[in-house]
């Protein structure tokens, strides 16, 4: 505690002293008003009947965020589980209460997923803050423009392009601590060289090394009792990117290559530390694009990319008691995924009319190879048993072809007096090689009721395709006497996509330097994909698992069952009160429920056996079940206040509130085999402070203190979060 105070006070004194001689100022820059992600064409943000946020590169520097998860968690309508945990922990996005695999993440318009993951959702910890020009966030269903998964929203990370002619450079060094015996150091170097004729080339390297916390909560209070090894869980991450292109008034072409490598120490599960469990991750991403402006009315373009990722998880034998006994197990999993995406797009624009027509092809594949080695003290021979699984003979893969149309029709197309009216909408037809054709559509009328004010309505359908794991996992249950009971595999090729219907009504207003917005939304997702246990239909549910002389279990699989409903209200506000003071805030109030009905069960897949939902332990075979509240979907609020006493110094205070919510844990008493139970996680409020100052001709510095009050809180039951963090960033721009 004393070291932290000394570091904070001394750093602040140095920064204030240096700022006296500074010649540069920290002027507040306005958000970019032009966005492309909401309509796939350049539009002013105030003219679009959508809930949108834009984060510029300057905003990222001002935010004090050290990771993408932290940055996104500050945004309206978003909750990122893992943002406050030990660096390297898995982080998941929940937008407007949607599931973690129902938000599309793009880099320069190219979808980024993890095809080898169970639900195909991306781990936000792999995304860095390197080479970002801006991030556009569109909340709400957007499947007509982005296809599968765009039920909760879209996050489009747009990378830097050409800079001013000549050499440009951006160098930053961040060092800090976020708890006892922890440290975090990040180095970042960006270089860009541009010619006057439009050619440019850039490169960036970002490296992070973390000595972290013990990621699990320590519940052992007796000093004589054995504890799991409580060493810190480390994390290292290296990102590098190279990009080249050409840009003028008519033509814009580029190609980019990015590689991400990271290694994280993780733990077995909640409350169970493990000093020998690591996950190594590597992704190579190649993106490219070209657009050509034929005239003021017509342009067309191509965006595409290829991505290959590999995740290696190794759980070695660990000490399990004070005598130094090992559990004598070695578990290794290697998971690989590949993505290829290409889309052609044409835009036609005249006064009052904007038409976007596009077509694309998206494919993904995965491999999974696992090996579980354990000591068999009764086996002879061998003394060790090695269990292996592999998808090599299956080669799970899928292909989706699409065509989409989006139009914006302004009232001025017919009469200048009707220019306050606008009608947007469109449709997408997708064809998946497994489940076939899917149609989504959207209607989005809006009206400018006053100067700078827009009232809008949206009705949109969306879908979320089943993952490769859910479709193709070939695992079969074998009875104790080695006879396969029904030939059922865990993967289910009969799965349909989850389908959604979203209604939204909102209003946003801009008056000089004041903007505010409010929106109500309601999303209903049908055909929710659930992991289920199956039990012998000839045995009563109340007596399942009570007779050890028989085998009641019939395997596990994925099926479409149930309906998920989420609804909520969002508020957003920002104001430049004066040249010295600015304020921004956002709030989302959200709730949800799940409803299951026996009539939704595909009996051809379950063979009429009893169906138990793993997510809550409920049996659905003979009664409807409704669950109120969704795990890890809290109401949240963020407030940010920036004060500039002089042009060279900016003081910022942030407050983040996260409401109470449910979390899941394995409950052995739920059914014969156990299932997921729910535990309540308390609300929390965090306070952050930062001081930014311009030092001298391109040099600036930022001193930030996160979780100022050293609040003890939880994001996930059983896992620790970071304490008070103190970070100093030195930054130079050429």
Q: Which CA distances in Å does 726 have to 155, 184, 275, 639, 689?
A: 29, 10, 26, 20, 10
Q: Which strands make up the sheet holding 110-111, listed edge to edge?
A: 51-56, 132-139, 153-159, 103-107, 110-111
Q: Where are the alpha helices (DSSP H) in 20-56?
A: none
Q: Is the pLDDT of residue 318 over 80?
A: no
- In a 3-state reduction of DSSP, which class is residue 280? strand
Answer for the pair 590, 564: CB distance below 8 angstroms, yes or no.
no
Mean pLDDT estimate for the chain: 88
Q: Is the pLDDT of residue 663 over 60?
A: yes
What's the rounded Cα separation, in Å, for the pair 523 and 567?
Answer: 6
Place 113 in a pLDDT band, splitting at 50, 70 and 90: very high
Q: Is the pLDDT of residue 708 over 50?
A: yes
Residue 501, Ramachandran bin (φ over 0: left; ψ between -120 and 50: alpha; else beta):
beta
Place 8 in a pLDDT band, splitting at 50, 70 and 90: very low
Answer for the pair 506, 445: CB distance below 8 angstroms, yes or no.
no
Place 221 in a pLDDT band, splitting at 50, 70 and 90: very low
Closest to 260 measured CA to CA, from 205, 210, 183: 205
pLDDT at 25: 45
71: enclosing H helix or E strand:
helix 68-73
Q: Is the pLDDT of residue 30 over 70?
A: no
Q: Is the pLDDT of residue 638 over 70?
A: yes
Task: Give the mean pLDDT of 548-571.
Answer: 91
What is the count of structural domains for the chain? 1
Task: Give the mean pLDDT of 325-345.
Answer: 89
Task: Give the mean pLDDT of 561-581.
Answer: 95
pLDDT at 722: 93
- The CATH code of the domain that includes 598 is 2.40.170.20
Where is average pLDDT lowest: 177-191, 215-229, 507-521, 606-620? 215-229
Greatest alpha-carbon span in the chain: 89
Task: Give the mean pLDDT of 499-508.
Answer: 97
Q: Which CA distances in Å does 444 have to 49, 69, 198, 473?
A: 7, 30, 38, 39
Task: Give the mean pLDDT of 661-671.
Answer: 88
pLDDT at 385: 61
- pLDDT tens track for 371-397: 888 765 554 444 556 677 888 888 899
DSSP 442: E
Task: Give the mean pLDDT of 87-100.
Answer: 92
Place 274 in a pLDDT band, splitting at 50, 70 and 90: low
pLDDT at 281: 96
Q: Is the pLDDT of residue 369 over 60?
A: yes
Where is average pLDDT lowest: 20-24, 348-352, 451-455? 20-24
Q: Is the pLDDT of residue 546 over 70?
A: yes
Beta bridge partners of 429: 403, 439
**What is the residue range of 603's domain?**
2-733
Task: Give the mean pLDDT of 435-446.
Answer: 96
Closest to 148 measured CA to CA, from 464, 359, 527: 464
- pLDDT tens track for 140-194: 999 999 999 999 999 999 999 877 899 999 999 999 999 988 999 999 999 999 9
Q: Is the pLDDT of residue 218 over 80?
A: no
- pLDDT tens track for 452-478: 899 999 999 999 999 999 999 988 876
Place 340 in a pLDDT band, splitting at 50, 70 and 90: very high
Task: Give the mean pLDDT of 515-539.
Answer: 95
What's the rounded Cα separation, in Å, for the pair 732 and 96?
Answer: 37
pLDDT at 32: 45
- Phi, psi at residue 386, to the nearest 5°? -115, 110
pLDDT at 275: 67
Task: Give the mean pLDDT of 8-20.
Answer: 43
- In a 3-state reduction of DSSP, which class is residue 199? strand
Q: Is the pLDDT of residue 282 over 90?
A: yes
Q: CA angle, corner 144, sides to 80 and 498, nearest 5?
A: 60
What's the rounded Cα separation, in Å, for the pair 293 and 272?
Answer: 58
Query: Taking the alpha carbons of 18, 23, 29, 32 in that order, is the dihedral positive or negative?
Result: negative
pLDDT at 272: 65
The count of residues in the chain is 734
Q: CA angle, corner 650, sides to 646 and 652, nearest 5?
A: 140
Answer for the pair 533, 511: CB distance below 8 angstroms, yes or no.
no
Place 479 in a pLDDT band, splitting at 50, 70 and 90: low
Task: Give the mean pLDDT of 197-208.
Answer: 95
């Amino acid at each position: 505690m004393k070291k932290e105070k000394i570091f904070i006070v001394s750093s602040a004194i140095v920064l204030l002293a240096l700022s006296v001689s500074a010649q540069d100022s920290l002027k507040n820059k306005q958000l970019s008003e032009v966005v492309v992600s909401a309509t796939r064409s350049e539009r002013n943000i105030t003219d679009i009947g959508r809930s949108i946020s834009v984060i510029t590169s300057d905003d990222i520097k001002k935010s004090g965020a050290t990771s993408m998860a932290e940055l996104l968690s500050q945004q309206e309508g978003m909750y990122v589980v893992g943002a406050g945990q030990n660096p390297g922990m898995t982080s998941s996005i929940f937008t407007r209460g949607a599931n973690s695999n129902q938000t599309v993440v793009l880099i320069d318009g190219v979808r980024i997923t993890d095809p080898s993951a169970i639900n195909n959702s991306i781990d936000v910890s792999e995304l860095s803050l390197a080479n970002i020009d801006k991030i556009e966030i569109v909340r709400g269903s957007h499947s007509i423009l982005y296809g599968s998964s765009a039920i909760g929203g879209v996050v489009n990370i747009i990378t830097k392009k050409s800079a001013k002619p000549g050499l440009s450079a951006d160098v930053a060094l961040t060092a800090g601590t976020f708890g006892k015996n922890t440290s975090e150091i990040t180095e970042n170097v960006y270089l860009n060289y541009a010619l006057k004729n439009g050619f440019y080339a850039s490169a960036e390297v970002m490296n992070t090394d973390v000595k972290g916390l013990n990621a699990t909560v320590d519940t052992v209070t007796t000093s004589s009792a054995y504890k799991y090894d409580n060493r810190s869980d480390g994390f290292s991450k290296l990102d590098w990117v190279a990009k080249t292109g050409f840009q003028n008034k008519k033509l814009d072409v580029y190609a980019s290559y990015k590689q991400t490598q990271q290694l994280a120490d993780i733990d077995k599960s909640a409350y169970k530390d493990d000093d020998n469990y690591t996950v190594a991750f590597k992704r190579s991403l190649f993106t490219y694009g070209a657009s050509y402006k034929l005239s003021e009315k017509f342009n067309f373009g191509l965006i595409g990319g290829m991505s290959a990722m590999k995740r290696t998880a190794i759980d070695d034998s660990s000490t399990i008691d004070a005598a130094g006994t090992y559990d004598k197990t070695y578990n290794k999993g290697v998971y690989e995924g590949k993505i290829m995406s290409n889309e052609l797009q044409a835009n036609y624009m005249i006064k009052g009319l904007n038409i976007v027509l596009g077509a694309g092809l998206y494919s993904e594949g995965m491999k999974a190879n696992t090996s579980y080695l354990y000591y068999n003290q009764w086996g002879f021979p061998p003394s060790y048993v090695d269990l292996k699984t592999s998808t090599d003979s299956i080669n799970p893969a899928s292909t989706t072809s699409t065509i989409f149309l989006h139009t914006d029709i302004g009232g001025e197309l017919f009469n200048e007096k009707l220019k306050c009216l606008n009608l947007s909408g469109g449709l997408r037809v997708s064809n998946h090689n497994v489940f076939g054709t899917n149609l989504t559509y959207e209607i989005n009328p809006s009206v400018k009721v006053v100067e700078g004010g827009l009232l809008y309505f949206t009705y949109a359908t969306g879908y979320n395709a089943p993952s490769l794991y859910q479709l193709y996992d070939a695992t079969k249950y074998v009875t104790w006497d080695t006879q396969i009971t029904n030939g059922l595999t865990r993967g289910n090729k009969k799965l349909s996509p989850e389908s959604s219907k979203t209604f939204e009504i909102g209003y946003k207003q801009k008056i000089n330097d004041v903007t505010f917005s409010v929106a109500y939304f309601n999303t209903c997702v049908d055909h929710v994909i659930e992991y289920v246990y199956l039990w012998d239909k000839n045995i009563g549910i109340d007596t399942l698992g009570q007779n050890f002389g028989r085998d009641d279990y019939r395997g596990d699989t994925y099926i479409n069952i149930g309906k998920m409903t989420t609804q909520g209200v969002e508020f957003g506000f920002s104001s430049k009160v004066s040249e010295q003071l600015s304020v921004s805030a956002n709030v989302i109030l959200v709730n949800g429920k799940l409803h299951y009905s026996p009539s939704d069960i595909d009996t051809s897949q379950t063979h009429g056996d009893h169906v138990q939902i793993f997510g809550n332990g409920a049996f659905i075979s003979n009664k409807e079940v409704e669950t109120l509240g969704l795990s890890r979907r809290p109401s949240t609020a963020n407030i940010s206040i920036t004060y500039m006493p002089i042009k060279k110094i900016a003081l910022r205070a942030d407050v983040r509130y996260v409401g109470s919510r449910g979390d899941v844990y394995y409950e052995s008493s739920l059914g014969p085999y156990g299932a997921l139970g729910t535990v309540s996680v308390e609300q929390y409020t965090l306070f952050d402070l930062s001081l930014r100052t311009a030092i001298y001709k391109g040099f600036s510095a930022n001193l930030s203190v996160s979780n100022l009050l050293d609040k003890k809180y939880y994001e996930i039951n059983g896992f620790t979060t970071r304490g008070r963090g103190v970070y100093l960033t030195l930054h130079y721009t050429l």
